[in-house]
Amino acid sequence: MSGRVQGPVLILGASSDMARAVARGFAAKGCAIQLAARDPDRLADDKADLETRYGVAVSLHAVDALDIESHAGFVSGLPALPAIAVCAIGLMGDQDENEIDMTRAAQILRSNFEGPASLLAVLANAMEARGSGTLVGISSVAGERGRASNYVYGSAKAGFTAFLSGLRNRLAQKGVHVVTVLPGFVATRMTEGMDLPKKLVAEPAEVATAIVAAVEKSRNVIYVRRIWGLIMAIIKAIPEQIFKKTSI
């Protein structure tokens, strides 16, 4: 499975900056697009944009990652089972709040792990039955090692990363490919106002280009920017004795 991508492409969490860029990336290749978000009414202009720019067919769908019971119906209700599904759903929250408000912490854990995992599982089963498809999960480098500054979010992403790895393993012989995306910093609504090292921050379009290429080449795990592979290798190599005293 490599070469030209074919749609339809389902985008979960389509209101996010990264998802918008990813939708454009696939639409530019001529793929039909299914945009799914909690409030699809807000996506009318995005639909018009994809149609105007690339002349592809675009449909809008409502999805809530936290409403697990609805996921099977959501997938069977799509106009067609997508060839490719990209999950950009995620929620970072505020670490200080996540430490003391357990309801909020649970929401973070569920929005980054349970919800996306459930959606991709339903899609995976349908794709497995069909014998083809590509699933793309946008996880995060934050899941590579728990850090004081965002371990609630990070631990959920760690779970999601492991889930994607297992799914890939399970479906490798079934014609279904799974791509794990571990972006470093990306300039989106999620990171707006944060004081990040400028040189390490990618634009959403850069992530999108990397994702389309990863799907075309059936890559397994991508960091978007290679430097993050190196940074995370170093961070993971620090012995716990030392790591626990740092503030990275």
Provide DSSP, 54-94: H---EEEEE--TT-GGGHHHHHHTSSS--SEEEE-------
Query: x/- contact string, 178-217, with other proteins (CB under 8 A)?
Result: -----------x--x-------------------------
Rule CB under 8 A: is residue 41 a binding residue for other proteins?
Answer: no
- Active site residue ranges: 153
Of the candidates 90, 126, 123, the one whose C-alpha atom is nearest the C-alpha of residue 108 is: 90
- Please pick, from the candidates 10, 18, 124, 135, the single residue that binds ligand NAP as defined by CB under 6 A: 18
Contact indicator for 175, 133 with CB cutoff of 8 Å: yes
* Binding characters for other proteins, 7-36, by CB under 8 A (x = yes): ----------x-------------------
Query: Which phi and psi angles does 150 have, rounded to 5°?
Result: -160, 45
Closest by CA position to 136, among listed 217, 62, 190: 217
Q: Which is nearer to other proteins, 102 or 196 (CB)?
A: 196
Looking at 7, 8, 13, 82, which residue binds ligand NAP (CB under 6 A)? 13
CA-CA distance, 248 to 236, in Å (whole number)? 12
Q: Establish if 39 lies at the interface with other proteins (CB under 8 A).
A: no
Q: How far is the CB of 173 from ligand NAP (least distance, A)?
A: 28
**169 touches 210 (CB < 8 A):** no
**Buried b / exposed e across 25-40, counting CB within 10 Å, b at 16+?**
bbbebebbbbbbbeeb
Characterize 119-154 residue by residue with b for buried, 16 or more Cβ atoms within 10 angstroms of its Cβ, and e for exposed.
bbbbbbebbbeeeebbbbbbbbbbbbbbeeebbbbb
Whether cis (ω within 30° of 0) applies to the bond prior to 116 is no
Q: Does 221 bind ligand NAP (CB under 6 A)?
A: no
The one among 39, 42, 217, 220 contacting other proteins by CB under 8 A: 42
Does 188 bind ligand NAP (CB under 6 A)? Our answer is: yes
> Residue 37's binding partner, choosing from other proteins, ligand NAP, none, with beta-carbon cut-off 5 to 8 A by kind?
ligand NAP
Task: Identify which of residues 39 and 97 has a Cβ nearer to ligand NAP in the complex.
Answer: 39
Dist. CA 187–CA 130, nearest whole Å: 37
38 binds ligand NAP (CB under 6 A): yes
Please identify which residue in 43, 117, 186, 215 interacts with ligand NAP, judged by CB under 6 A: 186
Binding site for ligand NAP (CB under 6 A): 13, 15-19, 37-39, 63-66, 88-91, 111, 115, 138, 140, 183, 185-186, 188-191
Binding site for other proteins (CB under 8 A): 17, 42, 45-46, 48-49, 52-54, 189, 192
